[in-house]
Amino acid sequence: MAGQDAAPPTPDPLTLATLYLCNISYAADIVMIPGLVQETPPLDGDGIWRCLWGPVQSSDESNLALVAGYSPQPDGAVEKICVTIRGTDIAVNDIWGILAQVWEDIDGTTQKGVPWKGWNESARIAQGTSDGLDIIMGLTEKNVSLGDFLRSFLGRESNLDVATLVTGHSLGGCLATVVAAWIESIQPVFYRGTIQPITFAAPTAGNSYFADDYSTKFTAAQRFQNTRDIIPRALDNLPSVMDIYSDRGLDAPDLIWILLPGMSLALALEEATYKQPVQGTQELTGQFYDQDKDDWYAQALHQHHPATYLALLTGTPVDYSALPRSITRRRKKTRPAERAFDVLKRLFGFLQKLKKEVLTKLASLLERGTL
């Protein structure tokens, strides 16, 4: 990787522990996760992490949640809990699949008001994000839902001061922002602990009113974003994705140039706007992978990977050989007609996935005579 002048922030043990928990949430076999949780780096001395609830995943295996508890001593009381959310089932070696699922799962063209009291009445989150929250709320382990577990655990006299962390990477980070708000709304009356969201590479969950209220309510929130990662730019800054690597001579593929404006148009037609929360934002100065200098998809994939975030947080080099190989098809040399056909074929598939949102909006405008 090419070096950068900006020094990385000094990572605290809590940030590294939450990133580790995000990473193990992607384990192919969730049966392995409780054992991996116990290997989470301790915050101090002889501390240990253990699974207290979960992991539990949805029927389609796309969403997953678990609660890990941290004790400063192996036989001591729990001092912190960490609600870890996974929000994607796309293979981690397919950056286009990740971006497409961000678009489809977030369903950003439709927004709905937040269901919690005390928030601005204009606060909106994406329909898909709301649906994802409903799924997380519906997960159960031995007939105990996540909400029931949290209310019971945090309501005990001995746990009223236990800190609650909420974390996630990528779509899991997007969901973590709304899960944190939901937890705040269901916390026991006498609970005195802090609720702290810590997210990595998270796409945007809601509009500016949601972001502002989130920043006000969660003053200890942390949001880590690699400046070379395309996913946190969705959905509030999609146009910037197209030249994110242009300073290094790596231009976005034709498909990106066609589809991202289409996404932006769909949002504009529905008047759906998004904004990342300001509170706790830490931009990590991304380092360009010279090994991917000719492959935009591989560059984007590797910039989004948890291993890259760990390297940027600690100032240590990434073991490039350990990163997944990109499976997104890339063609260096094609005849113009063949390339055009390939792009049009993908464009047609994308338009089908938009579920006729743009056409429906245009028809509505024509019917009202406003177009």
pLDDT band for position 29 (cuts 50, 70, 90): very high
- Report the pLDDT value the prediction gives residue 269, as an integer from 0 to 100: 86
Q: Decide: residue 126, CB within 10 A, 0-12 exposed, 13-18 middle, 19+ buried.
A: buried
Local confidence band at 75 (pLDDT 50, 70, 90 cut-offs): very high
Average pLDDT score over residue span 83-102: 71
State pTM to two decimals: 0.86
Helices (runs of H) and strands (runs of E) counted in the chain? 12, 11
Residue 166 pLDDT greater than 90, yes or no: yes
Quote the CA–CA distance of 108 and 200 in Å, as a whole number: 20
- β-partners of residue 137 are none
Phi, psi of 164 (to 5 degrees): -115, 115
Per-residue model confidence (pLDDT) at position 2? 42
Is 60 exceeded by the pLDDT of residue 122?
Answer: yes
Tell whether the model's pLDDT for residue 3 goes beyond 80: no
Residue 195 · residue 217 · CB < 8 Å: no
**Whether pLDDT at 69 is above 70:** yes
What pLDDT shows up at residue 362? 59
Q: Give per-residue burial for 212-250: e unless 16+ CB within 10 Å, then b.
A: bbbbebbeebbbbbbbbbbbbbbbbebeebbebbeeeeb
Q: State the average pLDDT for the chain.
A: 86
| Percentage of the residues of the chain whose pLDDT score is greater than 70 | 81
3-state SS class at 227: coil
> Which tokens in the block code for residue 294?
């000719």
Instruction: Read off the pLDDT of each residue in 17-39 and give the average, rounded to a whole number.
Output: 95
pLDDT over 80 at 328, yes or no = no
What are the structural domains, with CATH classification, of the chain?
A: 13-241+273-326 (3.40.50.1820)
What angle (nearest 5°) sits at the alpha carbon of residue 108, between those of residues 105 and 111? 115
Q: Which H or E run contains 352?
A: helix 336-353
pLDDT, average across residues 20-34: 94
Task: Quote the pLDDT of residue 349.
Answer: 55
Predicted local distance difference test score (pLDDT) of residue 148:
98
pLDDT at 204: 95
Q: Report the alpha-carbon distance of residue 75 to residue 83 in Å, rounded.
A: 21
List the structure tokens of 188: 């026991």
Average the pLDDT over 129-139 and give the result. Answer: 95
What is residue 279's predicted lDDT score, i.e. its pLDDT? 94
pLDDT at 35: 97
Phi and psi, residue 207, nearest 5°: -85, -175
pLDDT recorded at residue 340: 43
Kindly indicate the confidence band of residue 107, based on its pLDDT and cuts at 50, 70 and 90: confident
| Mean pLDDT value across residues 289-318 | 92
| Helices 296-304, 95-106: inter-axial angle, 10-degree rounding | 60
Dihedral class, residue 56 (left if φ above 0, else alpha if ψ from -120 to 50, else beta): beta
Share of the chain above pLDDT 90, in %: 66
What letters, b where the CB count within 10 A reaches 16 and e where it falls short, cover 293-324?
eebbbbbbbbbbbbbbbbbbbeeeebeeeebe
Least confident of 191-200, 240-249, 335-344: 335-344
pLDDT at residue 287, as a whole number = 93
- Compute the average pLDDT of residues 165-184: 97
- pLDDT for 264: 86
Q: In this predicted structure, what is the pLDDT of residue 1?
A: 47
* pLDDT recorded at residue 93: 62
pLDDT at 361 over 90: no
Average pLDDT for residues 2-27, to the nearest whole number? 78
